[in-house]
Structure 1
């Protein structure tokens, strides 16, 4: 951890998306306005969540959406060969959290000019609230990936060069408290004021406090659903509060990063599938067979047909010739496809799950809304959704299967989120390939192992954390994964 957190991100301003001014030297972090740091952190977060790079994010493979063509290590859960966990730590702790922390430091130290003085208190609150929300989002992802993680000591490398790990359940409770504290500080700023909140530096919402408020409530709902089995009372009150306050209600509320047509700012899907000139992935058999069997209208958007017609996926864990199986759809070969952070479809499935757990009378309607949102998101029509739902109705008796399977299909391009739904609801039933590494224990992984770098540099804290969670294994369930 020492080597990771001590690094201030290199190439801070190399992205062409940054449009806010720098005082003097554009390559010096000490002269950077907070918006530039926010911009960089947002892009890095989006890149991490959306990339299919086997060095960083293999959840499309884990969830059996995609399959590798030639080098099938990651399809068989060998994540240590490429030190994937090291990359996850670096991307999140350094590229995202460290830059957010630096932005917060600059904001707190800033002395407004006389002309800015009237607007500054409100804008300061807004800026710090946005940073807080992004930090909460990132830390939840880290907990959901590893379990116990460095948290309270992670942001201060001077005082804690080798940070201790915090209990995952305790972190979750603190994240909920932080989101509750941040939401009231999101106040809409008059567009005529001279000092708008982040403006171009915020590539998600352009500093729009009302949209950030919806995102924050939606994130609060996501946190609540995450602990629905481990702390049901806190989960229910938190979910109810979030929905009542106002979560995402349409695609207009989506939190996403708009990529550009040119390098280095095109979508990482396009970077890995098109610009790289490589053919490393095609469709996985598990999802393709399910969608074929259910006449899913989204299949033509997810995948291309093979020569001669139809959709074919390869057996999970096995390679094959690129042209023999369905290719990934056109969205992945489009440079400007937005990077999803959190969207309406995901939130609709959380609402469906919340109702299934605590308000069963409304569950079927919420389920229909969520499935419809996904079909429409992928270019389908409400009429197609009605037809699909007629043969895939909500099952109140086995609601985990209904929601779990449909969330799995819907989260096709949000595989980390899909991994959470699957671990929490235990549907769909996924079987590990016979060729999977021994460390997987014949199962699909339910967590990522800690980085090798942590074992080498932060050994005593790594050992304590590993013991606390029940072992640093791919098969060790997180605290909220109860069934």
Structure 2
């Protein structure tokens, strides 16, 4: 979608969409801004789920250009750390609640979309905070001290809500108000919304599929069997938000604006602060993965007095992280994120992580969904071709990272992945990767053992980890806590010598809802699906 006058209003309509309280405001007016805000909270805002998780799961570290980042470096979280995620997500959920409640009668399709997106937002909250306000949430002034519901109970109801949203779409009268350009995700295609709801169900069920609780495991298995035959199937391409991002103040892709360039063409404040970790760089270089040169620039380190080019990262907690300038006898020059190193906002359009000012923001990558399918198939929770979904997940990742930010998604979907040719960016590099790793059990599904450190599940999670890199990092962080994979090295500076398992409730909750905030919660209190030590 290109920016037009109609699209620009979705970005300009209101910096605070939660001011939409007048009864005259209709659901179609609120929808575009609500979806756009979800994308920003997920991917590019200060704070965002993606930035928090990119640090937590070993994608990012810092340079010596900046001080600070103590909590990121030590994993010693406080109540102010990424506290905005809690309140901002609830504000966004309130917009969807307005759409759902006001749209039930005359805007049933808008209301169904809002119902799906409420499940999306509540899932983000549960996975980072555990028990949260749910049944009494979003009631405004009528209840400012909502009770906290159990995370496990919320998970169960999210599936009910997604099923209900699909039923609402199917039951919408033919003459009911249609959804148009205000749907900045699927442009009113309600079949695609049902497919997205089914893919969210799969994400939820997979997340809770290894709790060891017999009742949960039995229910998950039954729900997966029913989901497999869902009439509308699953997503067939990346699910993205595109409200008409353009190189104007307040209208750029939020992720690029935060870590790339401003609309004026000046470097974003945080552009020089984050660099890749040596761990993530090594996962590409040691496995002959061409994506490393698509995602990162070369850095340099001094070897025997010689400034030697290479992929150089930082290590969480290290006392002397690399610079982003020229390496000398006493410093290392870090690799940079390709796309954020260009000289102007419009130049970063050739793919990579940032993609450019007008690139859409992903809500769910096709590669994630395919790896989700591969995992449940490998574990005999689904019937299907796990190997093919595994390979298609890798190929979808290559295509995503090599695809320009301005490329249409229409011709790149799951039904054509197996037959894509070298004319599609990324396919040649994918073929090279597969051919170079016939003896590598992290790439060759056939030789990945069914158990042990290099089992098939480990291979799937490893490839998913690479596919989600810095784009959908929160899903990788959730996977790591669920499975303990991949084996990310813990920095020696980590508090209590272990990874945290959650964010802490923000101080605002302790101040205003202290009677309901769960007691005894620490950053090591696990979410119910996290059973791996």
Same fold by TM-score greater than 0.5:
yes
Distance in structure 1 (CA, Å) of the matches to 2:529 and 2:25: 39
Whether 1:342 and 2:364 are equivalent positions in the alignment is yes
- Deviation for aligned residue 1:292: 1.0
Whether 1:92 and 2:89 are equivalent positions in the alignment is yes
Q: Which runs of 5+ in 1 are unaligned?
A: 1-14, 111-119
TM-score, normalised relative to structure 2: 0.76
Choose 424-433 or 357-366, whichever is displaced more.
357-366
Summarize the Cα distance change of 1:361–1:41 in structure 2 as closer, same or farther, 3 Å threshold: closer
Q: Which residue number in structure 1 is paired with residue 529 of structure 2?
A: 480
**Helix, strand or coil at the partner of 2:310:** coil
The answer to whether the 8 A contact 1:34-1:107 is kept is yes
Q: Which residue number in structure 2 is paired with residue 363 of structure 1?
A: 386
- Deviation for aligned residue 1:45: 1.1
Superposition CA RMSD, Å: 2.8
Distance in structure 1 (CA, Å) of the matches to 2:369 and 2:436: 20
Q: Deviation digits for residues 321-340 of structure 1, max 9, x if unmatched?
A: 12311111214262122211
Q: Which residue number in structure 2 is paired with residue 105 of structure 1?
A: 101
Q: Which residue number in structure 2 is paired with residue 42 of structure 1?
A: 35
The answer to whether the 8 A contact 1:34-1:103 is kept is yes
Task: Map residues 139-158 of structure 1 onto 2, 5 A cutoff.
Answer: 139-158=122-141
Whether 1:453 and 2:508 are equivalent positions in the alignment is yes
Q: Which residue number in structure 2 is paired with residue 315 of structure 1?
A: 315
Structure 1 runs, 4 residues or longer, greater than 6 Å off: 19-22, 188-191
TM-score, normalised relative to structure 1: 0.83
Distance in structure 2 (CA, Å) of the matches to 1:443 and 1:189: 50
Q: Which residue number in structure 2 is paired with residue 374 of structure 1?
A: 397
The answer to whether the 8 A contact 1:35-1:200 is kept is no
Q: Which residue number in structure 2 is paired with residue 393 of structure 1?
A: 444
The answer to whether the 8 A contact 1:21-1:33 is kept is no
Task: Map residues 415-426 of structure 1 onto 2, 5 A cutoff.
Answer: 415-426=473-484
**Helix, strand or coil at the partner of 2:139:** coil
Task: Map residues 244-255 of structure 1 onto 2, 5 A cutoff.
Answer: 244-245=229-230, 246-248=232-234, 250-251=236-237, 254-255=239-240
Whether 1:127 and 2:136 are equivalent positions in the alignment is no
Q: Deviation digits for residues 289-333 of structure 1, max 9, x if unmatched?
A: 121111112112221122664321111233431231111121426
Which residue among 322, 334, 344 is the counterpart of 1:325? 334
Q: Hey, which of these two has a bigger chunk of helix by percent?
A: 1
**Helix, strand or coil at the partner of 2:336:** coil
Distance in structure 1 (CA, Å) of the matches to 2:489 and 2:47: 21
Distance in structure 1 (CA, Å) of the matches to 2:464 and 2:77: 25
The answer to whether the 8 A contact 2:192-2:235 is kept is no
Task: Map residues 394-433 of structure 1 onto 2, 5 A cutoff.
Answer: 394=445, 395=448, 396-397=450-451, 398-412=455-469, 413-433=471-491
Q: Deviation digits for residues 88-115 of structure 1, max 9, x if unmatched?
A: 1121001x1111112223324x6xxxxx
Q: Which residue number in structure 1 is paired with residue 420 of structure 2?
A: none
Q: How many corresponding residue pairs?
A: 439
Summarize the Cα distance change of 1:20–1:432 in structure 2 as closer, same or farther, 3 Å threshold: closer
Task: Map residues 63-78 of structure 1 onto 2, 5 A cutoff.
Answer: 63-69=57-63, 70=66, 71-73=68-70, 74-78=72-76
Summarize the Cα distance change of 1:106–1:424 in structure 2 as closer, same or farther, 3 Å threshold: same
Q: Which runs of 5+ in 2 are unaligned?
A: 1-6, 263-267, 301-307, 326-332, 340-352, 403-425
- Deviation for aligned residue 1:19: 8.8
Q: Which residue number in structure 2 is paired with residue 201 of structure 1?
A: 182
Distance in structure 1 (CA, Å) of the matches to 2:312 and 2:397: 22
